[in-house]
Chains A and B, each alone.
Chain A
Amino acid sequence: MGNSNRSILIILFFVLIGIIFIIRLFVLQVVDPSYKYSAESNTQRKLTEYPSRGLIYDRFGKLLVSNQAVYDIMIVPREVAPFDTTDFCNVLNISRPELDRAYEEMRRNMRSRRISSFKPSVFIKQVPADQYALFQEKQYKFKGFFGQRRTVRKYEYPHAAHVFGYVAEVNEATMQRDPYYALGDYTGISGIENTYERFLRGRKGARYVMVDVHGREKGSVRGGRIDTTAVAGKNITLTLDIDLQAYGEELMRNKTGSIVAIEPSTGEILAMVSSPGYDPSLLIGRERSRNFPVLSRDSLSPLLNRAIMSAYPPGSTFKMVMGLIGLQENVLRTNTPYSCSGAYHARGLSVGCRHHRSPVDLIPSLAVSCNTYYCIVFRNVLDNPAHGSPKAGIEKWREYLNNFGFGKRLGSDFFNESRGFVPGSGYYDRIYDGRWSSLTVISLAIGQGEILTTPIQMANMTAAIANKGHFYTPHVVKDIENDTIPSRFEERHHTGIDPIHFDPIIEGMEQAIWSETGSTARIARIPGISISGKTGTAQNPHGENHSIFVAFAPKENPQIAIAVYVENAGYGSTFAAPIASLMVEKYLNREIHANRKWLETRMLNIDLINATKH
């Protein structure tokens, strides 16, 4: 009968499906191993052992940053019995809304199956050890809760927050970039905690335990033979002198600005102050969520590391570089005097200067900080017939500046360094539509106008002058335990200026402080220390001038080069010079001479922030 042929067709169809099943089974059970691995993960759980982060020391071996234990309060939702919530809040020092929020979050995570009601998960993060002790006493009252130890940073000094940066939980992006990280791990977010994260973090360990279907631990896997122990992070020694750093922060208290001090022979940063700053302890663990918004909303931006991120016009402190370029370009002779009538006049344009003896040659030009002198030098550099045009001239000028580290990132340990700005011919062609001359951009001669430099760049320039022509990239890392610091910090960079040209410049910087007549920074004199320096007063469209001072000492064998910026504080000699000289004195003598105690007291007590506010 014809029916049966049709039925065979359908039966064959089923046989085909049966064969597909058999093939599929064979693939799943014999060929493809991927689901077999998943099978193991069902019955085993990996418990992470967190390493402690590497310690941080200063250049003299003083401990700066260590670790402290905090406790995450864990919850096993199923085991929680009704408890006294007021008591719970009190022992953990949290508010009732905080508890409610934590509870709501837990409920949400349970619904989305991110956490299990059988397995412990974090309920309250990072309870301080002393608070945890209170909790532990009453833990028997809170069924389903227990503490898990984590370590967070502990800062031995309330200083150098910008250098250290801070540590926080990893975010999604970091986890995707680096498979080492898992949810809940800590990582350095900024400063050297970020830069040297790879060394500081150590290596996590793992403990494997058998779990039952509810996730309860049932002993170790294979007797713990596959477990790994956590390896503590490597300790790091910084180039900072914490006493100098602390002193700098004290001096800058109630002022906005920055100090960078460098050891010229190595490029090691001795102090890096950005003011106003903050106590690094404010950003530890739980405190951070409370304090970070406050700090980031503060109108004085305490989180901003001004030393590397704020760019200002260098003002008169730029004159040394200008003079050096003139000498190297052979358009300036040390002994050629230029006369100054209190301003530089040319074709209807004038650049003001102050009254001083006239005429002056190179060395006294620095001592009295003559603007006219450097306007002439600048124009000679740009209009040098050897280059053909001011456009080529400014490019040459710019090349020298780049060699000094201006207009680019120096490449220190900090990823968020600002470049500053050194304008070139392209820039002026754009804004002046190609029609400009050396006179148009004359402000550059005295470090004003479009040029912007950061405090670290200025300190680096000072170090290059102290070294008579070369510098090492400024850095804060001195030593990494059982490892080497980045090789770029050992490379010598040349400014392209012959060492011989530095002698008159350094002489001029010395005269700026020590000359009997007309020196601009007498206040920076330190008994017994041959300090050389230069004031700067950067005009600033937003208000009062910035007070700037750069200096190095001693003249022979310089050990410290320093740049000080005090925002909106007026002349360089008023604030920046005294602060810089106190820093130098502190570093070299470890104490302030009795004759200068009055100056120290005055600098420590002056309050520029609140004074300008009211």
Chain B
Amino acid sequence: MGNLFRKYAKGDRAIWLVIIILSIASLLSVYSATGFLAYKYQGGNTSYYMFKQMGSLAFGIGVILFVHRIPYVWIARFAYIGLYFSVFLLLITLFSGVNLNNASRWLTIPGIGITFQPSEMAKLAIIIYVAKMLAQHQKEDEPAKEAFWPSMVHVVLVAGLIFTENLSTSLLVVAVTVAMMFVGRVPFKYLAGTGLVAIGLVALSIVIAPKVSFLPRAKTWSSRVEQFLNPENAEKSSTYQSDQSKIAIASGGIFGKGPGNSVQRNFIPHPYSDFIFAIIAEEYGFFGAFIIIICYLLLLGRIGTMVRASNRTFPAFMAFGLGLMLVSQAFVNMGVAVGIFPVTGQPLPLVSLGTTSVLFTCVAFGLILGVSRHNMEQADLARQSSKKEAVDEASLQTNEISA
């Protein structure tokens, strides 16, 4: 088994451990949190969603195993195609997407009948694209000024397409790519300017959007922000989600109520996705929630080491960007559950129920692990070659001696 694993699963062991822990957490909590859904839609087949998630995860791990073997050079080559394909899909979604919770984020693939969220794909594509731009313009001892405009134009394009339907994802896209540019030595004044403009735009749209008809979710945004800022003034029913989530977390205590013993799953809307962290905190207590947080921090930490070890810029930027996206998504999800952020629908990567989310999270993990694999192979190669050189030298010496 160990050998088998070693044979097929390359790359950083710690990241693999994170993937396994999160998958297990996902199966346990999804099983517990979908009882209501199972009764409502699956005639009481309580394990339906767990098996569905198990299938998604198994498929996802297959994707990781596949993706992490692809040389990053290939990925860099497909950066443009991936990005424009995503933009194309986003456009289609915007005009003909499936409306779920008043947000048309879903696209049905014709023929197969599977719905998925193009924004998940677009997130990855834009990160890869920005990583490529940054890598192309890196110079010794000089800021990467030229990388800013091409990156920014595409970031704005993608974020703008997601924006009307999914404010938080588009904000995450901007934040993560800006962070990448910061690491990629794009001059700070450009980034600060971008930040200010973004803040201005968001504030403006939240204020005026309720009056404009083409932003159907604007009312939700402003009311959620309002609730978050003034919870005392908010109506009881509107703080319902976050109150129930806090009750879940609070009633978990230090050690939790135990697997499957959540009570709050019956009171929290979407306990299997947006609020799954609350269910974990309720059933597994402070320790369970602690482990999940540590998992994501560990992931980010390992990527940090990878970036430091990497001698190529594109894979380093890409791994860093993807890691940042995963972890920020996770933190937003947790932040909503514990009441640090306003209510928004970011899934907890790899844990929340949802095939698209799991799939593209796995692609991201695959890409990260691919970089890791490459670095490790390079390191091995270097070690071997230095060993070889040493042997050569030694043999040379012996030859000299013998000569």
Contact = CB atoms under 8 A, between A and B. Distances in A.
Interface of A: 2-4, 6-8, 10-11, 14-15, 17-18, 20-22, 24-26, 28-30, 32-36, 38-39, 42-43, 112-113, 212-213
Contacts of A6: 182-183, 185
B250 A10 contact: no
Interface in B154-177: none
A21 B247 contact: no
27 contacts: A3-B184, A3-B317, A6-B182, A6-B183, A10-B179, A11-B301, A15-B297, A17-B331, A17-B335, A18-B296, A18-B331, A20-B340, A21-B293, A25-B249, A28-B246, A30-B254, A35-B249, A35-B250, A36-B250, A36-B251, A38-B243, A39-B247, A42-B244, A42-B263, A43-B263, A113-B237, A213-B266
A113 B240 CA distance: 11
B338 interface: yes
Nearest to B316: A3
B308 interface: yes
A42 B263 CA distance: 9
A535 to B, nearest CB: 65
A212 to B, nearest CB: 8
Given A10-B179, A42-B247, 7 more contacts: A18-B296, A18-B331, A35-B247, A35-B251, A38-B243, A43-B263, A213-B266
Nearest to A17: B331
Contact of B297 (A3, A18, A34, A43): A18
A306 B285 CA distance: 68
Contacts of B308: 4, 7
B267 interface: yes
Contacts of A15: 297, 300
Given A6-B183, A39-B264, A25 B246 contact: no
A2 B243 CA distance: 45
A35 B246 contact: yes
A10 B324 contact: yes
B128 interface: no
Contact of A7 (B36, B320, B331): B320
Nearest to B340: A24
A60 B297 CA distance: 84
A25 B179 CA distance: 27
A77 to B, nearest CB: 17
A29 B253 contact: yes
Nearest to A34: B250
B327 interface: yes
A25 B251 CA distance: 11
A270 B389 CA distance: 123
Given A3-B316, A7-B320, A29-B254, A21 B246 contact: no
Nearest to A214: B266
Contacts of A22: 290, 293
A221 to B, nearest CB: 14
A34 B281 CA distance: 17
A212 B266 CA distance: 9
A28 B282 CA distance: 11
Interface size class of B (residues with CB under 8 A): 35 or more
Dominant secondary structure at the B interface: helix
Contacts of A4: 304, 307-308
B249 A3 contact: no
B312 to A, nearest CB: 10
A10 B181 CA distance: 12
B252 interface: yes
A40 to B, nearest CB: 9
Interface string B32-62: 0000100000000000000000000000000
Interface of B: 36, 179, 182-185, 236-237, 243-244, 246-254, 263-264, 266-267, 281, 285-286, 289-290, 293-294, 296-297, 300-301, 303-304, 307-308, 313, 316-317, 320, 324, 327-328, 331, 334-335, 338-340
A225 B211 CA distance: 55
B308 to A, nearest CB: 4
A592 B250 CA distance: 78
B286 A25 contact: yes
Interface centre among A3, A32, A34, A38 (most CB of B within 10 A): A3
Contacts of B264: 39, 42
Nearest to A29: B286
A28 B304 contact: no
Contacts of A10: 179, 182-183, 324
A14 B300 contact: yes
Nearest to B176: A10
A43 to B, nearest CB: 6
A42 B296 CA distance: 32
Given A39-B250, A43-B263, A26 B286 contact: yes
B273 to A, nearest CB: 19
Contacts of B316: 3
B304 A8 contact: yes
B240 to A, nearest CB: 9
Contacts of B179: 10
Contacts of B313: 3
Contacts of A213: 36, 266-267
A525 to B, nearest CB: 72
Contacts of A21: 293, 331, 334-335, 338, 340
A43 B264 CA distance: 10
Nearest to B313: A3
B297 A29 contact: no
List 5 A-B pairs, minimum CB-CB distance, nearest first.
A35-B250, A213-B266, A39-B251, A4-B308, A6-B183
A481 to B, nearest CB: 41
A213 B271 CA distance: 14
Contacts of B285: 29
A42 B246 CA distance: 13
A112 B237 CA distance: 8
A39 B248 CA distance: 7
Residue among B264, B301, B307, B327 facing the most chain A CB atoms (10 A cut-off) = B307
A18 B296 CA distance: 9
Nearest to B327: A14
Nearest to B285: A29
Given A10-B179, A18-B331, A30-B286, A3 B251 contact: no
A43 B263 CA distance: 9
A2 B250 contact: no
Contacts of B281: 25, 29
A213 B251 CA distance: 17
A25 B335 CA distance: 10
Nearest to B249: A28
Given A3-B183, A10-B182, A25 B338 contact: yes
A577 B183 CA distance: 105
Contacts of A18: 293-294, 296-297, 331
Contacts of B294: 18
A25 B289 contact: yes
Contacts of A29: 249-250, 252-254, 281, 285-286, 289
A24 B179 CA distance: 25
Nearest to A33: B250
B265 to A, nearest CB: 9
Nearest to A20: B340
Contact of A28 (B36, B182, B184, B250): B250
Contacts of A17: 331, 335
A28 B307 contact: no
Interface centre among A22, A28, A33 (most CB of B within 10 A): A28
A251 to B, nearest CB: 57
B181 to A, nearest CB: 10
Contact of A38 (B247, B338, B339): B247
Given A6-B183, A18-B297, A39 B263 contact: yes
Contacts of B290: 22, 25
A112 B238 CA distance: 11
A233 to B, nearest CB: 33
Contacts of B253: 29-30
A119 to B, nearest CB: 14
Nearest to B246: A35
A281 B183 CA distance: 83
